[in-house]
Amino acid sequence: MLTGEEEVLYDRQIRLWGRDAQQCIRQTHAILYGQFTGPSHELVKNLMLQGVARISLVPKGPPVPAKSCLFTSHCGMDVMDNTEVAEMIQREAAQLNPRVNLECVNIPVEELLSTGEMTKVLVLLEEHSLEVAFDLNAFARRNGVPSWWLLTGRTPSHTDDMGLLFCDLGDQHTYRKQPPPNPEEDQEKREEIKETVSFVSFETLWKRHLETESRLKEKTRRGMPVSFSPLLELVQNGFQDLKPSAEPAACCLGAILGAVVAQELNKAVTGRDLPIHNVLILEASSFTSQIISINS
């Protein structure tokens, strides 16, 4: 149960998504694993303000561009050690909400996912090993843990900075949404609609998109999800050369992407509103987005 102090602290959020949803958030343990580039800073900030119970930062990977990071952009260095960046995030972000247990740890992700009674969520940050990403996602699926895979950067064949988010909320994810407005009904008495959507693993997403040789040329309305994206194909073909960027547009894109991931975590643990199904691509120069929906 929320304490009286928490009722006051999270009053705005309770008004927005309800007391039960805020209670779900307060029982959540977010595990962030990988390279702590710009999006991770925005993600941690938003999770701290939402009031999750625990955030575990598990750094892994090469040094990161200092200018891409919210807490390191003025350090006077070009790159920083990834663990040092994670520790800096911990020190600075901890001041945002002392009720959140924010920690930087060197503990296997599998151990964090399989211990404790809190609701777990997993975010893979800039993980450039397909084997690691697929294996950790598979472990999360077996343990009923929603997971996201976040990538940013540019490839030799596509020099615009982009951000990608792969989402997996399990075989059956049930969410609630508001029914369409009806002026003849009492708006306060309308009951929410429950719907179920099925997600597939990161490995299935990756392979199924590469196998889509037909290019699915059916006409789609602007803004509607598609089943194939030439841009995602470019990323997949140049995956080993995808590198995080410190360009100004990429920094803005990172902030947007970090906020999007935080919102998706909120949807997953509260069961409110339709989550992204199941790949999101953002382009920095135009700030346009596309959702790619791939089924099993």
Distances (CA, A) of 99 to 19, 90, 94, 138, 165: 17, 14, 9, 31, 28
Q: Give me the phi and psi of 33, to 5 degrees please.
A: -125, 130
What is the structure's pLDDT at 184? Answer: 64
Burial of 218 (0-12, 13-18, 19+ CB in 10 A): exposed
Q: Does position 69 have pLDDT exceeding 70, yes or no?
A: no
What amino acid occupies position 34? G
Instruction: Tell me the helices (H) and strands (E) count for the chain, helix number first.
Output: 10, 12
Q: What is the 3-state secondary structure (H, E, C) of 216-272?
A: CCCCCCCCCCECCCHHHHHHHHCHHHCECCCCHHHHHHHHHHHHHHHHHHHHHHHCE
Q: How confident is the model at residue 160 (pLDDT cuts 50, 70, 90)?
A: confident
CA pair distance 39, 69, nearest whole angstrom: 8
Radius of gyration, alpha carbons of the chain = 19
With CA atoms as reference, report the closest residue to 32 among 65, 54, 8, 9: 54
Provide mean pLDDT across the span 18-27. 94
Q: Does position 177 have pLDDT exceeding 50, yes or no?
A: yes
CA pair distance 35, 143, nearest whole angstrom: 24
Fold of 4-177+192-292: Rossmann fold (3.40.50)
Instruction: Kindly state the percentage of the chain with pLDDT values over 70.
Output: 88
What is the structure's pLDDT at 158? Answer: 80
Instruction: Kindly state the percentage of the chain with pLDDT values over 90.
Output: 58
Provide mean pLDDT across the span 253-257. 89
Q: Say how many Å lie between the first and final Cα of the chain, rounded.
A: 39
Query: Residues 6 or more apart from 146 whose CB is under 8 A from it?
Result: 121, 122, 140, 168, 169, 170, 173, 265, 268, 269
With CA atoms as reference, report the closest residue to 251 among 59, 90, 65: 65
DSSP annotation of 179 reads P
Provide mean pLDDT across the span 156-181. 88
Tell me the pLDDT of the chain averaged across its residues.
Answer: 88
Q: What is the pLDDT of residues 44-60, one digit of tens each?
A: 999 999 999 999 999 99
Q: Does position 65 have pLDDT exceeding 90, yes or no?
A: no
Provide mean pLDDT across the span 245-253. 75
Q: What is the pLDDT of residues 129-146, one digit of tens each?
A: 999 999 999 999 999 999
